[in-house]
Amino acid sequence: MGATKKYIIKKYVDRELFEVEDIVVKEYALTIFLNDEQFITLLCTQKSLESLVIGFLYSEKIIKSLDCIDNINIDENKCHAYVKLNNLSNINEKLYGKRVITTGCGKGSIFYDALHSLKCNKLSNKVDINYENLLKTMKVFNKRSELFEQTGGVHSVSIIHKDKILYFEEDIGRHNALDKIIGRCLINNVNIEDKIIMTSGRITSEIVLKCAGLGIGCIVSRSAATDLAINTSEELNIEVIGFARENKLNIYNKRV
Amino acid sequence: MGATKKYIIKKYVDRELFEVEDIVVKEYALTIFLNDEQFITLLCTQKSLESLVIGFLYSEKIIKSLDCIDNINIDENKCHAYVKLNNLSNINEKLYGKRVITTGCGKGSIFYDALHSLKCNKLSNKVDINYENLLKTMKVFNKRSELFEQTGGVHSVSIIHKDKILYFEEDIGRHNALDKIIGRCLINNVNIEDKIIMTSGRITSEIVLKCAGLGIGCIVSRSAATDLAINTSEELNIEVIGFARENKLNIYNKRV
């Protein structure tokens, strides 16, 4: 169990081979059952699984709110998550609708048409952004991931208020990490209107769409953003900030 | 058109904001039609699209060889790839089979059950590995990606023979980049038995499975490998090497 596993590996350094113990990040295959029917398997990191399931179902628009879920039962040994939904309307349509394979490191968002989803409503964006605070918080954020320190194999996502990290999640997939944060916000009924999403991963269009679904007004990454992410965030009035490192950051679009 | 787009952005440096021109990597949405029926949309980088389509269909086991394809016609303006297949057997089964969303940065492999796929045959692995050559080649590989230099937003994958880079591909998704390489190998009928895959991205189980499908005996990354990738490669007799940087690399499992 757990998020990591120890291996005896061969290390090659300066033309010499020797055996060392190494810590490797685990891929955990969690199969979600909706009302006893197998729905999907997520390859993820075995942490915050309930948040992941809730955030995933919300991101994929399978549930509109927590109220759609009667209960969740996770059997970590069996790698099963049993979700009892009280409303199964249009799940099949989603399942067999257009398939879009996205750039999601963690997963592709396969249940909706990304381009069609651009027709979301503009956000009435209430987040207050202080760039010095963001850079300060990014430094804390970068040091926060023990899993990354140990394995170098995970992405991190946080939800930020001013210069405070409210929640911090990590996963082999940047989408899973974001879904875990989204799940925690739903579970704890966090008002996200004045919050910021901080991520170690690149900002692609579907990351923007996930944040838009939650009503997030600003996304900050230490990595790059794509053109579609910038255009989408423009449409939705979300501020996208990339390459937030040391004393610098790039603001790809300001909110109006 | 093209793989990048210029934006006027605001740059924040040492508490000062100023406008600069910035080059951003583009997300290109390529919709694949199989025998005139819409099949799937890939978010990718607009380069080597025919190789991507062929490699993707092969990786997802939609085609067993190039012979399954009568012709491919790509309309880059419409973002459409029209593929004429001469054999559509079991495509539906694949489409509506078990869905596995993987850690694929580029996409999840959604058409097969990753765990079931571990039942591939062991490879009769003929690749000859010289670690000094690998480190030397990795340095060349790291400098090779103009797109990464410009945008910081892409992954690179190469196929290597001894210390020679045969093909080099880049994409916003590490899976797309690998599929482009796989496509090029199929198109050019490359004997891959003695070749090595080099990637900038993490080695997860489905990367190993894609390489196994092609018969690749060694995968080298400058990043991490997951436990499932290591276990899978053990099963399939593929050598997995991670964190290949400067004078060091980690050999997660030796071939027998």
Query: Are residue B141 and residue B108 in the same domain, yes or no?
Result: no
Annotated catalytic residue within B44, B68, B79, B105: B105
Structural domain count, chain A: 2
Q: What is the mean pLDDT of residues B113-120?
A: 48
Token pair, residue A37, equals 């029917």
Query: Are residue B106 and residue B138 in the same domain, yes or no?
Result: no
Query: Minimal Cα distance from A15: which residue of B?
Result: B132
pLDDT at position A99: 46
Q: Which of B24, B250, B253 lies closest to A225 in CB terms?
A: B24
Query: Are residue A110 and residue A136 in the same domain, yes or no?
Result: no
pLDDT at position B153: 85
Flag if B41 and A98 touch (Cβ within 8 Å).
yes
Domain that holds residue B86: 28-116
* B176/chain A closest Cα distance in angstroms: 9
H-assigned helices in chain A: 49-59, 91-95, 131-144, 146-151, 174-187, 205-214, 227-236
Of B116, B149, B165, which marks where a domain is finished? B116
Flag if B10 and A152 touch (Cβ within 8 Å).
no
The predicted-structure confidence for A177-225, as pLDDT tens digits, reads as follows 999 999 999 999 998 878 999 999 999 988 999 998 888 999 999 999 9
Q: Which of B10, B100, B250 lies closest to A251 in CB terms?
A: B10
- For residue B153, the chain A residues in CB contact (below 8 A) are 202, 223-226
Q: Is B227 helix (H, G, I), strand (E, B) or coil?
A: helix
The predicted-structure confidence for B38-59, as pLDDT tens digits, reads as follows 888 898 999 999 999 999 999 8
The region of weakest confidence among A112-126, B125-139, B230-244 is A112-126
Query: Are residue B138 and residue B239 in the same domain, yes or no?
Result: yes
Flag if B12 and A254 touch (Cβ within 8 Å).
no
* B30/chain A closest Cα distance in angstroms: 10
Flag if A40 and B99 touch (Cβ within 8 Å).
yes
Query: Are residue B240 and residue B143 in the same domain, yes or no?
Result: yes
In a domain, A203, yes or no: yes
pLDDT at position B126: 72
Where do we find the tokens 């009928």? B189
Q: Which of A9, A103, A173 lies closest to B172 in CB terms?
A: A103
Query: Minimal Cα distance from A41: which residue of B?
Result: B100
pLDDT of A86 strictly over 60: yes
* A206/chain B closest Cα distance in angstroms: 10
**Higher pLDDT among residues B152 and B247, named by residue:** B247
Q: What is the mean pLDDT of residues B66-73?
A: 94
Nearby residues of A197 by Cβ (< 8 Å), 6 or more positions away: A157, A158, A159, A160, A178, A181, A211, A216, A218, A219, A220
- For residue B96, the chain A residues in CB contact (below 8 A) are 96
In a domain, B188, yes or no: yes
pLDDT at position B89: 55
In a domain, A212, yes or no: yes
Query: Minimal Cα distance from B92: which residue of A?
Result: A96
In a domain, B11, yes or no: no
% chain B with pLDDT above 90: 63
In a domain, A235, yes or no: yes
Flag if A108 and B101 touch (Cβ within 8 Å).
yes
pTM as predicted: 0.86
Token pair, residue B87, equals 């054999």
Q: The domain that contains B94 carries what CATH number?
A: 3.10.20.10
pLDDT of B93 strictly over 70: no
In a domain, B4, yes or no: no
Q: Which of B115, B248, B251 lies closest to A29 in CB terms?
A: B115
The region of weakest confidence among A66-75, A128-137, B69-78, B246-255 is B246-255
pLDDT at position B112: 38
Q: Which of B7, B99, B227 lies closest to A5 in CB terms?
A: B227
pLDDT of B163 strictly over 90: no
pLDDT of B244 strictly over 80: yes
Q: What is the mean pLDDT of residues A49-76?
A: 93
Query: Are residue B85 and residue B192 in the same domain, yes or no?
Result: no
pLDDT at position A54: 96
Give the sign of the dihedral formed by CA A220, CA A221, CA A224, CA A229: negative
**Residues B194, B127: contact at Cβ < 8 Å?**
yes
Query: Are residue B170 and residue B141 in the same domain, yes or no?
Result: yes
B120 is catalytic: no
pLDDT at position A120: 60
DSSP designation for A17: E
- For residue A132, the chain B residues in CB contact (below 8 A) are 15
Rg from Cα positions in chain B: 19
Q: What is the mean pLDDT of residues B165-173?
A: 95
Annotated catalytic residue within A68, A79, A105, A218: A105
Interface test with B, best of A6, A21, A27, A230 (most B CBs within 10 A): A27
Flag if A108 and B103 touch (Cβ within 8 Å).
no
**Residues B237, B126: contact at Cβ < 8 Å?**
no
Flag if A114 and B202 touch (Cβ within 8 Å).
no
Flag if A202 and B172 touch (Cβ within 8 Å).
yes
- For residue B39, the chain A residues in CB contact (below 8 A) are 99
The residue count of chain B comes to 256
* B177/chain A closest Cα distance in angstroms: 11
Query: Are residue B143 and residue B83 in the same domain, yes or no?
Result: no
% chain A with pLDDT above 90: 62
pLDDT at position B120: 60
In a domain, A8, yes or no: no
In a domain, B9, yes or no: no
Of B72, B91, B116, which marks where a domain is finished? B116
pLDDT of A123 strictly over 80: no
pLDDT at position B193: 79
3-state helix, strand, coil in chain B (%, to 5): 30, 35, 35
pLDDT at position A114: 46
